[in-house]
Amino acid sequence: MSENGKDKLIKLPANITVRDLAKTISVSPIEIIKTLMANGVMANINQNIDFDTAAIVAAELGYEVALETPEAVEVTDEGEIPLWKKLIEQEDKAALVKRPPVITILGHVDHGKTTLLDAIRHTSVAAREAGGITQHIGAYQVRHNDQVLTFLDTPGHAAFTAMRARGAQGADIVVLVVAADDGVMPQTREALAHARAAKVPIIVALNKIDRPNANPERVKQQLADEGLVPDEWEGDTIVVPVSAKEKIGLEDLLEAILLVADEMEIHANPAGRVIGSVIEARRERSRGVVATLLVQNGTLKVGDTVLAGTAYGRIKAMFDFTGKRVQKAIPSMPVSVMGLNDVPEAGELFQVVSSEKQARAIAAERKQKQRQEAQTAARNVTLEKLFEQFQAGEVRELRLIIKADVQGSLEPIISSLNDLNVENIGVNILHTGTGNIGENDVMLAAASKAVVIGFNVQPDAAAQRLAEAEGVSIRLYNIIYRLIEDVEKALKGMLEPEEKITVIGKAEVRATFKIPRLGKVAGCYVTEGELRRNAKVRVVRDGEVIFDGEMASLKHHTEDVREIRQGFECGVGVKGFDQFKVGDVIECYTTELVPVA
Ligand code: GDP
């Protein structure tokens, strides 16, 4: 240990190898290993030790240690505007140049999204230049009238929303495909809700006009009913009739996209900080991790160190969508890159950082944070949390996604909710629909910081899982006024804690007895969990709760017991109830007050 190292402040990353730590504090690695051993940690020279361990060792060797705080931007999903857009706003205005618009295609299944994407790709000059062979990398570019357009070619709002949920929001413009022979369908509405929630302009491609039963006028009326009034009807939605199959109207569609793009500020600083979105990524046997990145600002180059979520690495090679090797990628250009150490998630933001060491440190820190978050399972969007955000002025509206059993119940709910307006905080209904709550509803909620409300419907298993993972709150009702009341309370920040019931055991009534002083008791067999003397009980007959109260007595044979487990027989007395019948189920439960989520 060097003398002058005494009490010197050093900064260490979240993880460091024994070798690097030794170098940083100028001692021999052996000394570090010995100190580690003295603290009960066996490590070799190449092993990674975490910051806490490294700090103990360094302190013992006379150093004061602080965690190195990485200067890279943290990816947060707070707020309306995607982080990359915020960063572009911070760029020097003079350095901003126009970049190609990024377009995503949404619409109902079978309305022709894939066919349209293929048709655009194959009629494009860019594709023809490359011999018409394009690689599927999740995005491609076409040229129209000397302008370039970037298409994300994973159609469907699941992909779109996944990106948004992770804060990326890759698309500048949404093309909503509606089949002229089928019209507006449930997923058309869903897609519309997604696009609106993302505040991305929408162009309608009225597809399949070659079909004999196509009825464009009827579909335009349906679109108008959804608030997409066609421009020919004095509205502001461009509706382009196309046939993806017959390749009709494609030029008009590209024209319309460029027109809309022209009115927007679609720009970036090619010399600025490099940031973008992961479009897709996978591990290949021969090439390792291959990720398609869409550059949104700056210029990505071979040799750059990229950090995407918890994956990182130096870019070894880069290819454009035609499979051609390239050295750099400018804004709005999708490239597939090799060199990441792990597969990042689609929709994740990526950025270029100054060194691999820094990338490793941030990745380690993020992993640590993820682990912590997984442990606490922090809820993301609860009505209560939203109220805090109202107060902090972060959110000016309560966003809801409403699913109901039938259209007839949706209407009164929507109109009552729209009438609610408490202290200028309004309700914004992002999406409504009939049927059970599905994964897409939860995705949309997660991406938009919304709460899902179900009326006479249930979430399906996948939606439930996703809601838990994403911390999305789903609230179920079967009485309209309760629903309205709760939303109003949420707006006022007055939601009271909810009683959460946990059934801890069930017993089946097999006989009834009269016992002096105790009255009628049930002779039971514990079928699940356990019964506890001091817990609450309810009596269930034919699936219905017929009595809810407290236990009066719990006996095993003649002995009073505090609890009794599954597989045992017992005698149960319930305060204020003695109408037991053989076949009743006695459920024992505990309650706790939890803030309504
Ligand atoms: P997606 O589910 O929205 O991606 O729809 P697809 O692109 O897979 O198309 C569904 C079906 O509609 C396929 O059989 C297509 O061939 C057909 N299709 C797509 N576009 C057109 C069109 O413009 N005209 C006709 N007649 N059929 C089309």
Tell how far the Cα of 117 is from the centroid of ligand 1, in angstroms: 11
Distance (angstroms) between ligand 1 centre and the Cα of 435 equals 26
Report the nearest-CA residue for atom 22 of ligand 1.
Answer: 208
Top mean-pLDDT range of 315-324, 409-418, 500-509: 315-324
Residue 318 is predicted with a pLDDT of 96
Output the residue whose Cα is nearest ligand 1's atom 18. 112
Q: Which residue minimizes the CA distance to atom 6 of ligand 1? A: 112
Give distance in angstroms: CA of 496 to centre of ligand 1: 51
Report the predicted TM-score, pTM, of the whole model to 2 decimal places.
0.60
Name the closest-CA residue to atom 10, ligand 1. Answer: 110
More confident residue, 491 or 185: 185
Ligand 1 centroid distance, CA of 111 (Å) = 6
For a ligand 1 pocket test, name from 105, 106, 110, 219 the mutation site with the most ligand atoms within 8 angstroms of its C-beta. Answer: 110
Average pLDDT of the residues in 88-108: 86
| pLDDT of amino acid 70 | 47
| pLDDT at 284 exceeding the cut of 90 | no
- pLDDT for res 169: 66
List the residue whose alpha carbon is closest to atom 11 of ligand 1. Answer: 110
In which band, very low, low, confident or very high, does the pLDDT at 468 lie, cut at 50, 70 and 90? Answer: confident
| Ligand 1 atom nearest to 111, measured from its CA | 3
- 60 pLDDT band (50/70/90 cuts)? confident
Beta strands 498-515 and 585-594, pairing class:
antiparallel
Q: For residue range 551-572, what is the model confidence (pLDDT) as tens digits?
A: 989 999 889 999 999 999 999 9
- Distance between Cα 243 and ligand 1 center (Å): 9
**Cα–Cα distance, 549 to 578 (Å, whole number):** 12
Using CA positions, which residue lies closest to atom 24 of ligand 1? 208
* Ligand 1 center–CA 245 separation, angstroms: 7
Q: Can you tell me which atom of ligand 1 is nearest the CA of 118?
A: 7
**Atom 14 (ligand 1) nearest CA:** 110
Report percent pLDDT > 90 for the chain.
37
| Mean pLDDT in residue range 181-207 | 89
Counting ligand 1 atoms within 8 A of each CB, the residue from 115, 116, 252 with the most, and so the one to mutate, is 115
Condensed to tens digits (0 to 9), the pLDDT of residues 358-398 reads 899 889 888 888 776 655 444 445 555 555 655 555 556 78
Per-residue pLDDT for 72 more than 70?
Answer: no
Query: Separation of 112 CA from ligand 1 center, angstroms?
Result: 4
Residue of 409, 416, 413 lying closest to 435 (CA atoms): 409
Q: What spacing in Å lies between the alpha carbon of 119 and ligand 1's midpoint?
A: 11
The model's confidence at residue 56, banded by pLDDT at 50, 70 and 90, is confident
Question: Cα angle vertex 356, ends 328, 309, to 5°?
Answer: 80
Q: What's the rounded Cα separation, in Å, for the pair 6 and 64? A: 8
Structure confidence at residue 511 (pLDDT):
93
378 Cα–ligand 1 center, Å: 42
Average pLDDT over residues 167-193: 86
**CA 110 to centroid of ligand 1, rounded, Å:** 6
Average pLDDT score over residue span 461-476: 85
Measured distance CA(217)–CA(233) in Å, rounded: 11
Structure tokens at 3: 């003398």
The pLDDT of residue 129 is above 90: no
Task: Give me the sheet containing 173-179, strands edge to edge.
Answer: 139-144, 147-152, 102-107, 173-179, 202-207, 239-241
Give residue 252's pLDDT band: very low, low, confident or very high (50, 70, 90).
very high
How many CB atoms within 10 Å of residue 249?
A: 21
Give Cα separations from 419 to 170, 183, 341, 411, 413 (angstroms). Answer: 34, 30, 52, 13, 10
Quick one: pLDDT at residue 74? 53
- Ligand 1 nearest-atom number relative to CA 107: 3
pLDDT tens-digit series, residues 294-308:
999 999 999 999 999
Alpha helices in 449-581 (DSSP H): 461-470, 480-492
Closest ligand 1 atom to the C-alpha of 155? 4
Which residue carries 């990816």 as its tokens? 75
Pick the residue whose CA is nearest to atom 9 on ligand 1.
112
- What pLDDT band is residue 5 in, cutting at 50, 70 and 90? very low
What pLDDT, in 10s, does the model give residues 102-115?
999 988 888 999 89
H/E element holding 16? Answer: strand 15-17
| Residues in the ligand 1 pocket, defined by CB under 6 Å | 107, 109-115, 155, 207-208, 210-211, 243-245
In this predicted structure, what is the pLDDT of residue 130? 47
Of the candidates 158, 216, 228, 210, the residue with the CA atom closest to the CA atom of residue 182: 216
Is the pLDDT reported for residue 258 higher than 90?
yes
Return d(Cα 298, Cα 329) in angstroms, integer.
Answer: 9
Ligand 1 centroid – CA 317 distance (Å): 36
Print burial letters for 271-306: b (CB count within 10 Å at least 16), e (below 16). ebbbbbbbbbbeeeeeeebbbbbbbbbbbbebebbb
Q: Which residue has the higher pLDDT, 489 or 241?
A: 241
Cα 255 to ligand 1 centre (Å):
22
What is the spatial distance between Cα 19 and Cα 49, in angstroms, rounded to a whole number? 10
As a whole number, the mean pLDDT across the chain is 83
**In ligand 1, which atom is closest to the CA atom of 177?**
3
